[in-house]
Structure 1
Amino acid sequence: MRVCITSSGPSLDSEMDPRFGRCQYFLFVDPQSLEMEAVENPNIGASGGAGIQSAQFVTNKGVEAIITGQVGPNAFTTLQAAGMKILVGASGKVREVLEKYKKGQLTSYAQGPTARAHAGMGMGGGMGMGKGSGRGAAPPPPPPTPSAPHREDLQMLKEQSRQLKEQLGKITERIERLETKK
């Protein structure tokens, strides 16, 4: 199954784009075979609704997860309604992030939006204070979304706990090795 990664360029060696709705490229990648389709974001220049439109675009591509830096409230609601896994906080080269995903090292699942509305619009924030010629006020925020089912939360927390224990074990081993070298 493919994943979608927000990118600043069309290759696996490109840097991640931290924005979801207004990223430069969407990279649709099969994590196992590394077969990839790079698509320029058709919504990058949208005057409004880029997050929702991008979420619908990605959902229609049939991916199992989104890997990005941040996701706004409207895109989050749309992706969550489609049952999409949303991994946030990723940065660096796309290839490196993909390796972390394959190893189960990306564990920051979004429980809600991680960016404010209109965060990717530039210095005016979509409020007519930039070069957008004042297109009006922002729409009201979406209603709160229901939390994920208890079982999924529990499973996610157990996986995060397992990974943290593994990391702690490696850190402890390294400390012990360094202390024995003294």
Structure 2
Amino acid sequence: MKVCITSTGPNLNAEMDPRFGRCQYFIFVDPESMKFEAVENPNLGAAGGAGIQSAQLVINRGVEALITGQVGPNAFTTLQAGGVKIVTGVTGQVKEVLEKYKKGELASLAQGPTVGAHFGMGMGRGGRKTAPSPPSAVPSVPELPSEEIKNLKETARQLKEQLNKITERLEKLEGKK
């Protein structure tokens, strides 16, 4: 099993970064062997879409579970569609959080995004210039299979809609319409 934890530093002694899409580092770790790889977040300074791009990076690494503080709606949808279990509202030192996860002391799945759309924008990146809010205190609860099916179908519908809009925009820009 491979787990990803958002981090402020490149090792297990670092504190967790509460942000997902714009965290400083992703720590990819095997909880059994404790072997890990720290990867600087290439999307930290992205003008937009940092959450989705970070979610794709996590999915492409074969991660089964993500542990972070907060996840926006687009990243949440992407991670969920990629089959990644999402644990939110977590703070602390990376190695301590990992130990809690191994002991089953962390909830296994977030119900939904913990921050609104465009939450990561701001703070000098052209957004609302507001400080981040504290992590959500809402506990994570596993979904029933019927709820998961419904949510995955809705996610697929939204992704198809987004893809259609992107395709239309590309065609317009390329002069095909």
TM-score by length of 1: 0.69
Question: Which has the higher Rg, Structure 1 or Structure 2?
Answer: 1
Deviation of 1:4 after TM superposition, in Å, equals 0.3
Q: Distance in 1 between matches of 2:122 and 2:2?
A: 30
Q: Distance in 2 between matches of 1:93 and 1:122?
A: 26
| SS of residue in 2 equivalent to 1:39 | strand
C-alpha contact 1:43 1:53 (8 A) present in aligned 2: yes
Q: Which residue of 2 aligns with 1:85?
A: 85
Q: Which residue of 2 aligns with 1:149?
A: 145
Deviation of 1:124 after TM superposition, in Å, equals 6.2
Q: Which residue of 1 aligns with 2:20?
A: 20
C-alpha contact 2:18 2:68 (8 A) present in aligned 1: yes
| SS of residue in 2 equivalent to 1:5 | strand
C-alpha contact 1:5 1:27 (8 A) present in aligned 2: yes
Q: Which residue of 1 aligns with 2:95?
A: 95
* Structure-2 change in CA distance of 1:149 and 1:26 (3 Å): same
| SS of residue in 2 equivalent to 1:119 | coil
C-alpha contact 2:47 2:125 (8 A) present in aligned 1: no
Q: % of aligned pairs identical? A: 72
Structure 1: where are the runs of 5+ without partners?
131-146, 153-182
C-alpha contact 1:118 1:126 (8 A) present in aligned 2: no
Q: Distance in 1 between matches of 2:42 and 2:123?
A: 21
Q: CA RMSD in A?
A: 2.1
C-alpha contact 1:6 1:18 (8 A) present in aligned 2: yes
Cα deviation, 1:7-56, whole Å, max 9, x if unaligned, reads: 00001000000000000000000001100000000000000000000000
Deviation of 1:125 after TM superposition, in Å, equals 7.3
Structure 2: where are the runs of 5+ without partners?
130-142, 149-177
Deviation of 1:78 after TM superposition, in Å, equals 0.3
Correspondence list, 1:126-145, <5 A: 126-127=126-127, 130=129
Q: Which residue of 2 aligns with 1:66?
A: 66
Deviation of 1:122 after TM superposition, in Å, equals 2.9
Q: Distance in 1 between matches of 2:125 and 2:42?
A: 20
C-alpha contact 1:2 1:64 (8 A) present in aligned 2: yes
What is the identity, as a one-letter code, of the residue corresponding to 1:77? T
Aligned residues: 136
